[in-house]
Amino acid sequence: MIDAKKLEEVTANIGDMALKRRVKTVVEYLNIRPTDRILDCGCGDGLYLMVINNLYNCHFYGFDLDEKEVTLAKKNVADDSVKLTRGDIYHLPYQDGFFDKIILSEVLEHVLDDLRALEEVKRVLKENGLLIITVPNHNYPFLWDPANKILEFLCKRHIQKGFWAGIWRQHLRLYTFSKITQLAKKASFKVEESRALTHYCFPFNHVLLYGLKQILSKSLLSAQMSHTADKFSWQKKSQSKLIKTGYYILNKFDGLNDGISNRRSSVAIALKVVKKR
């Protein structure tokens, strides 16, 4: 069972509402039990691990290709019981059927062979184990990334690198519901549930978030504001009332995204799939 109040506390400083919704959806889909062995495959800076580790007492593992991200995750999670490893997704360093549940969030769009990656993830998952996938939606909202939406409509092109890359930043592909569902089935997973995540958003949301990230990296904010703008600093007592007010408004606005139809445009797609026998 999810401790809803605790989940709100741990995710309070996530200013990116699309990311916050993904995190909450993943936690909901996982339905974690105390004996579960869970892998965050493509853990990045360790956000999912930090959130889940503060909610449940389980066996957690993180894996990523980028050594810098693994180092950052160790710092952010700050718990030696969470085992973090660097490596190649095509050759995961775990035994067959090692995990009860696996998170694969915003990973498949980065790899050259998404089917091969998915099959390797399946190898280390137990029979009837849960895999939670999120990927960027090819049918994304116009306001999320107007520049690429216009380019795709007029020129059948998109910006993939640089400041204006938006939803395409470092992504080899985006997915439709049909495409990601077919991929999961091809890898012999049973699709239990799918969900569109974040239709309503502010214009150029990714530009605003990128700008805030640059400000944080250059330490241009006061310590109080930096704590509040840092998604890992939710336990810091010194929090900015101004930024907290901004979060309150954003959360209220994001409530419009509750229960949106899968037929609507959305920033991301979430799938809950099960490894078949």
Q: Which of 197, 204, 207 has the alpha carbon at shortest distance from 262? A: 197
pLDDT higher than threshold 90 for residue 235: no
pLDDT higher than threshold 60 for residue 218: no
Q: For residues 30 and 105, give the distance between their C-alpha atoms in angstroms, rounded to a whole number.
A: 12
The per-residue pLDDT of the chain, averaged, comes to 90
Number of domains within the chain: 1
**Could you tell me the two tokens for 160?**
């993939």
Q: Are the C-beta atoms of residues 130 and 101 closer than 8 Å to each other?
A: yes
Label the pairing between strands 83-86 and 59-64.
Answer: parallel
Q: What is the mean pLDDT of residues 108-123?
A: 98
Could you list the residue range(s) of the whole structural domain that residue 141 is in? 4-275
Q: What 8-state DSSP symbol labels residue 168?
A: G
pLDDT higher than threshold 80 for residue 205: no
Beta partners for residue 30, in sequence order: none
pLDDT higher than threshold 90 for residue 117: yes
Rg (CA), the chain: 18
**Could you tell me the two tokens for 175?**
């997915």
Question: Exposed/middle/buried for 162, CB within 10 Å: 0-12, 13-18, 19+?
Answer: exposed
Is pTM beyond 0.95? Reply is no
Q: For residues 192 and 270, give the distance between their C-alpha atoms in angstroms, rounded to a whole number.
A: 11
Find all residues with CB under 8 Å of 86, minimum gap 6, and list them.
63, 64, 65, 66, 67, 70
Q: What are phi and psi of 63, to 5 degrees?
A: -145, 135
Q: What 8-state DSSP symbol labels residue 12?
A: T
pLDDT given for residue 147 in this prediction: 86
- Assign 62 to helix, strand or coil: strand
pLDDT higher than threshold 90 for residue 241: no
Q: What 8-state DSSP symbol labels residue 199?
A: -
The CATH number given to whatever domain includes residue 109 is 3.40.50.150
Q: For residues 106 and 269, give the distance between their C-alpha atoms in angstroms, rounded to a whole number.
A: 10
pLDDT higher than threshold 60 for residue 184: yes
